[in-house]
A and B are shown apart, each in its own frame.
Chain A
Amino acid sequence: MNETPSSSAASAGAPPLRSYTCPWCGLASQGTDLSCRACGATVDVRAIVTRSGWAELPGRKDMAKLQFGHSSCQIEGTYVPVADMNLAREDSVYFAHHVLLWKDPQVAVTAMPLKGAWKRLMAGMPLIMTQAQGPGHIAFSRDAPGELIALPLQPGQTIDVREHLFMVATGAVTYDWSQSGIWFSTREGNETETHYPMGMFLDRFTSPQVPGLLLLHAAGNVFVRHLAEGQTILVKPTAFLFKDTTVRMQLHVERPAGTWRSWRSWGDRYLWLRLWGPGRVAIQSAFEPLEDNGRTIVSHSGATEHQW
């Protein structure tokens, strides 16, 4: 931590200000609250890191409270947590409309048009985002047991998120999306099918000017790690959650030796997502089965290959 204690506090012999840095979101504080104001992580609980280097999403006390702008958000429940927002008059949030759990009657909900509606329609993504303007309470939850991830975004910070995981973001956070670029095609007879193991699109969230807050919901437990420059790791494509924009990704295919193989095709194979550092990557422990019909792969996005 680079910040220095204020001179007045130091001269008075008081404990230095900003002595605690949240291991999850990096917010510096005095550490006197029970939970981090930016992400809700319990204060002063030792970060749980596996021997392999994955850090568990820090525990959060039930009813932990987050501050953003002039508003606050309380995280309620543990199995399928609810984000209960108390919006101030000047603050707004946006969300995919199927995550709304309840709201005060006076909270105005309107549509937020998105670019590329036709392509989104084709890809099965929500066509419109819904936005809510304060003042009042509005609450969100999703449809699977799991964890609510609070990602405070510092001005200028950008994060890439797998599609359909987004829950709610503050009005200052901009939303964009792009092709994921991860795909493979299989063929049987004359039928060719294209598969997108981590989705056709990737959501991108940026907070350009002021600090923003992004809430995601993941199924099961969440683990995060920092990859060093050039460091690589293979993850199940459907377990991928989010990454820093500096992290690159590509398909990786492994197949056991001794199985029949024709030119540029695979019989039995394992499909992985290869992630390259530097940057942060996160995964969820409960993931959907990989959409893979076991047919011969005839083409794919850039991939590395390994034969056992």
Chain B
Amino acid sequence: MTDNASAELLQRLECQWCQSMNEAGALTCRSCGAPLDVKNLVSESGWREAPRLKDMTEIQFGQSTCQVEGEIVPVAEINLGAGDSVFFEHHVLLWKDDATRMSVLPLTGGVKRALAGMPFVISVAHGPGRVAFSRDATGELVVLPLHPGMELDVREHAFLLSSHTIAYTFVRIKGLRNILFGGQGMFMDRFVTTSAPGLLLLHGYGNVFERVLKPGESILVEPGAFLYKDSGVTMDVETIKLTSGLFGGTGMNLARMTGPGRVGIQSMYVHHATE
């Protein structure tokens, strides 16, 4: 390899988490904040730890920046540029500048959402101005820059904020209704990008791990641990019967995730009662 070619390669650093290209010498990825100078932590079984974001890491999106503050219950502080906005569920708002303008994201299916216990109102914060978000338990911020043409399904209430370039909708998971809402059905947030990229921030409880499933490859996951997946990954609930011979037995529900695509899980989860 010539010196020039080497130099060219060195000038561009690909982030292993979000595949964005970064300038030579960058310590953290501009798009997702992942440290570029730390080795990926991948378990032998193929789960990759979400990058541990350094305190005060800055992430760029559109005309805005996001600074990640703290490590135990991290805060995402957004400095919105003029013309940029982010949307979020109201319970994650930590503080905002007095001048930061707010509005409500128009949604369809409000009654269905209300019946499913999902937030009826998604709020929007408009730049210029600052606004900050955090959740209610120890965990990790998962920064997912969405490239154009991506569809991501996220566990409800797990999304912290999303940039305005991402379209938000929700889908019903039929297979999980028995576990999660006792027959009332369950909705999952779906984030879709069209032509423009966007930034999506989630908060996972405990530690967050991601695995890429090959086409047809399956993994069984505790349903409470599911955090996000590419929309191409299917999710079906299976019940494993457990009998002790004394009480007729009980069942354990597990979600079968089948590739192709990414699956994200959180290590601290709400355990759903068995049947």
Contacts and interface: CB of A to CB of B under 8 A. Distances in A.
Nearest to A80: B206
A76 B138 contact: no
A77 B50 CA distance: 9
A103 interface: yes
Given A81-B207, A82-B207, A84-B43, A145 B242 contact: no
Interface string B86-100: 000000000000000
B235 interface: no
Nearest to A76: B43
B139 to A, nearest CB: 7
B269 interface: yes
A127 B249 CA distance: 10
B1 interface: no
A97 B274 contact: yes
Give the bracket for the number of chain B residues in contact with chain A. Answer: 35 or more
Interface in A209-233: none
Contacts of A78: 207
Interface stretch (A49-57, A110-118, A159-167, A247-255): A110-118
A81 to B, nearest CB: 7
B268 A142 contact: yes
A105 B221 contact: no
B250 interface: yes
Interface residues of A, number: 38
A62 B40 CA distance: 11
Interface string A127-142: 1101000000101011
A100 interface: yes
A111 B271 contact: no
B125 interface: no
A111 B44 contact: no
Interface of B: 41, 43-45, 47, 49, 72, 137-140, 205-207, 209, 218-222, 225, 240, 242-247, 249-250, 252, 254, 256, 265, 267-271, 274
